Chain A
Amino acid sequence: MRILLVEDESLLLEQLHRNFERAGYACDTAADGNEGLFLGQENPYDLAVVDLGLPGIDGISIIKQWRKEGRKFPVLILTARDRWQDKVEGLEAGADDYVAKPFQIEEVMARANALIRRSAGFASPQLQFGCITIDTGAKRALLNNTAVELTAYEYNALEYLAMRSGQVVSKTDLTEHLYDQDFDRDSNVIEVFIARLRKKIDPDNALKPISTLRGRGYRFELSETQH
């Protein structure tokens, strides 16, 4: 999952960046409103975490601009202005949730997770696909209720594909959502991930949950009854 963090306080930005990265997110960061707006306009994020009080362009204006331009990724606002007026204005501008400062990083991450899950249309943090369970809260996958050892990138690839179950996800799309903007997009690392992921979640090669569509990308598909 690729997220954008927009926060002007460098230490706080660094903390958020570190924690989200540790949780396996690909993070782009912006320290002011202009840069944040630009990154959100240019990249297909799965979530943006935006502080409302920013130098340059304020958080509410950024969200309004993104929504005006059709950017649909969920937005979590961080606000030190704990007034309801500010919360309501932020949410009316197009944000999806808010966290008031000071916050526990864990709370921000839980809210971020929930927003990503909701935006994919899942109400529960546990995504069930036959014998495969993806626990978006704990960031782990289970095969027949047994935890599968996955690296952060493998888990992210699985979660991204599972959240778009039945849809074709191009390699570029997957790359863009798994890696931040500094990643070398010509490498074949995605194929390697997918191959490793297939072996781990389908060791007997019986389920075939991830299919390759030549020239188009990958599709995750597994019915409830497939065991």
Chain B
Amino acid sequence: MALLLGATGIAIDRAHTVSLISAEQDQLRLQFFGLLGAIEWQDGTIDMGDRLKDPRFWQFRSGLYAQIRLRNGTPLWQSVSSETIPLPAPESTPRSGQELFSEARVDKEPFFVFQYHAIWETEDDREVPLLFSLYSSQSPLINERRKFQHQLSLWLGLVLTISLIVTALILYWGLRPLRELAIDLKLLERGDSTKLRPNYPRELQGITHNLNQLLDKERKQRERYRNTLADLAHSLKTPLAILKGSGAKDPATGEQIDRMDNIINYQLKRAVSSGKQNLSRRIHLRPLIERLCNTLAKVHRDKSPQFEITLDPSLVIAVDEQDAMEMFGNLLDNASKACTAAIAIHSHTIDGHTVICIDDDGPGISKEYREELLQRGSRGDQYGQGQGLGLAIVSDIIQSYDGEISFKDSRLGGVCAEIKLPR
């Protein structure tokens, strides 16, 4: 905008200068006509008498000078105002009957010069070529131009300031919905909301509506996908249950049924896991852990494990709810089976990661065996339930969120399952 206004200023200044010069030229032309009308030719000399009306011709160094020469340059007359000033001989002269407007320096000052080449007919019918030269100082024009430039700069500056303020305000108000959209998208990205707000201006509603539809569609598709896989699991596992109950007395058949079940469990749970997504929803961990602990307290009622949950209620993790349920469900179930009486769930942050620890007071697992625990089909339990898939699935889910799982010695005496997830 500043460049545009600068260019505008230059253009206006140029136009104004051209107009001033043109007006000056017209003025000098009029002066010339006045001069022409005032001449009286007397025996080869020129007499002006007091016929020149413009007082500047009579004022010494007034800035308006006139001179009449013969064609060979011999001066015939010069105004009183220029009597002590050496008027320069013109560098070029116009042809007969033509005028020439140019610039020259008179006494080191810039002047406009108007020349006219006239043929004067004397009373004895002789034709005398006369060169009229009028000199007008450029100082008034320069002053005028400076004043104009000053005014112009002032006004253009004002216009620029107002324009910038107006533009800033327009941008501020105009871009506000975009800023809100950016905040909304950030919330979506962090998983703090599930869709964009509906109250956007009409111009943005097309985008926000489509984006909401896209998110909704994606969510429903994911849900449909999960349900379809769950139905698939259901339709595969019920026949397996029948087979297991009827013909599976033969150990080989039973083993093959267990193998098929393991494959279904492992692959379907892997397929169902959402993994890390740009627009994943964040979940509050504590309520989820509390739900699982309440459930497990019911399942392991005979043992009645005591769950000590010391998680900040505001702790959130960027993991899909079902994946979190699967991860912590398996780990807490393992802890419930392994523990003697107590399980502790706590968290801390380290290097931009949230670390969640599940401690139990069970017999523990030897260090050499801990790595193997996360392998598919490996079983670390001595308590007899499950198929040895839980931890492999947990490990896969955690890895899909760029997280890590490890097993350490617990302060309670058993195992501490430590899950490290990016914040």
- Chain A residues with CB below 8 A from B321, complex form: 85
Segment 227-248 of B: residues with Cβ below 8 Å from A: 230-231, 233-238, 240-246
| A202, CB-defined interface residue at 8 Å | no
Instruction: List A residues 94-153 near B (Cβ within 8 Å).
Output: 96-98, 100-105, 114, 118, 123
Shortest beta-carbon distance, A65 to chain B, in Å?
Answer: 19
Q: Which of A16, A83, A88 contacts B295 (CB 8 A)?
A: A88
A57 within 8 A of B: no
Nearest to B333 among chain A residues (CB) is A84
B345 within 8 A of A: no
Knowing A91-B295, A104-B244 are in contact, say whether A83-B238 is a contact too (CB < 8 A). Answer: no
Which B residues are CB-close (under 8 A) to A98?
Answer: 299
Assuming the A-B contacts A96-B298, A98-B299, A102-B261, are A88 and B325 also in contact, with contact meaning beta carbons closer than 8 angstroms in the complex? yes
A44 at the B interface (CB under 8 A): no
**Chain A hits for B298, CB < 8 A:** 91, 96-97
A192–B226 Cα gap in the complex (Å)?
Answer: 56
Other-chain contact of A103, B244, B295, B301, B322 (Cβ < 8 Å): B244
Indicate if the CB atoms of B272 and A9 lie closer than 8 Å.
no
Task: Confirm or deny: B193 has a beta carbon within 8 angstroms of a beta carbon on chain A.
Answer: no
Task: Determine the distance from Cα of A135 to Cα of B237 in the docked complex, in whole angstroms.
Answer: 33
Q: How large is the interface on A (under 10, 10 to 19, 20 to 34, 35 or more residues)?
A: 20 to 34
Within 8 Å CB of B322, what residues of A? 83, 85
For A85, the chain B residues whose CB sits under 8 A away are 321-322, 325-326
Q: B291, A53: Cβ atoms under 8 Å?
A: no
Could you tell me if A92 and B325 are in contact, using CB atoms closer than 8 angstroms?
Answer: no
Taking each of B236, B237, B244, B298, which has the highest tally of chain A beta carbons within 10 Å of its own beta carbon? B237
CA distance A15 to B246 in the complex (A): 7
- Taking the closest CB of chain A, its distance from the CB of B381, in whole angstroms, is 15
Q: Establish whether residues A101 and B241, one from each chain, have CB atoms under 8 Å apart when the complex forms.
A: yes
Q: Is the CB of A84 within 8 A of B233?
A: no
Which residue from A19, A82, A97, A105 sits with its C-beta under 8 Å from B299? A97
Decide if B329 touches A84 in the complex (CB within 8 Å): yes
Q: Which residues of B contact A15 (CB under 8 A)?
A: 242, 245-246
Q: CB within 8 A of B326: which of A11, A80, A81, A84?
A: A84
Contacting residue for A83 out of B237, B241, B291, B326, CB 8 A: B326
A185 to chain B, nearest CB (A): 32
1/0 contact string of B61-96 vs chain A (CB within 8 Å): 000000000000000000000000000000000000
Give how many A-B residue pairs fall within 8 Å (CB-CB).
90
Query: For the complex, is B311 an interface residue (Cβ under 8 Å from A)?
Result: no
B285-306 interface bits toward A, Cβ cutoff 8 Å, 1 = contact, 0 = none: 0000001101100110110000
Contact A80 B292 (CB under 8 A): no
- Nearest chain-B residue to A12 (Cβ)? B242
Interface pair B291/A12, CB less than 8 Å apart:
no
**B17 is an interface residue with CB less than 8 A from chain A:** no
**A92–B291 CB distance below 8 A:** yes
A86 / chain B contacts, CB cutoff of 8 Å: 230
CB pair A83 B301 closer than 8 Å: no
Q: Using CB atoms, name the residue of chain B closest to A52.
A: B234
Establish whether residues B237 and A114, one from each chain, have CB atoms under 8 Å apart when the complex forms: no
> Are A11 and B302 interface neighbours, CB within 8 A?
no
CA distance A114 to B301 in the complex (A): 10
Q: Is the C-beta of A177 less than 8 angstroms from some C-beta in chain B?
A: no
Query: Are A87 and B245 in contact (CB-based, < 8 A)?
Result: no
Partner of A118, one of B241, B295, B301: B301
- The answer to whether A12 touches B329, judged by C-beta atoms less than 8 angstroms apart, is no
Chain B residues, CB < 8 A from A123? 302
Contacts of A78 in B (CB 8 A): 241
- CB pairs A–B below 8 angstroms (29 shown): A9-B238, A9-B242, A12-B242, A12-B245, A15-B242, A15-B245, A15-B246, A53-B231, A80-B233, A80-B234, A81-B234, A83-B269, A83-B272, A84-B328, A85-B326, A86-B230, A87-B329, A88-B295, A88-B325, A91-B295, A92-B291, A92-B295, A96-B301, A101-B241, A102-B257, A102-B261, A118-B301, A118-B302, A123-B302
Q: Residues of A with Cβ closer than 8 Å to B?
A: 9, 11-12, 15-16, 19, 53, 78, 80-88, 91-92, 96-98, 100-105, 114, 118, 123
Starting from the known contacts A101-B238, A102-B237, A103-B244, 17 additional A-B residue pairs (CB-CB under 8 Å) come to A9-B241, A9-B242, A11-B246, A12-B245, A78-B241, A80-B234, A80-B235, A80-B237, A81-B230, A82-B265, A88-B291, A92-B291, A101-B234, A102-B238, A102-B243, A102-B261, A114-B302
- Give the top 8 A-B pairs by smallest Cβ distance, nearest first: A84-B329, A102-B240, A80-B234, A102-B241, A80-B237, A101-B237, A15-B245, A101-B241
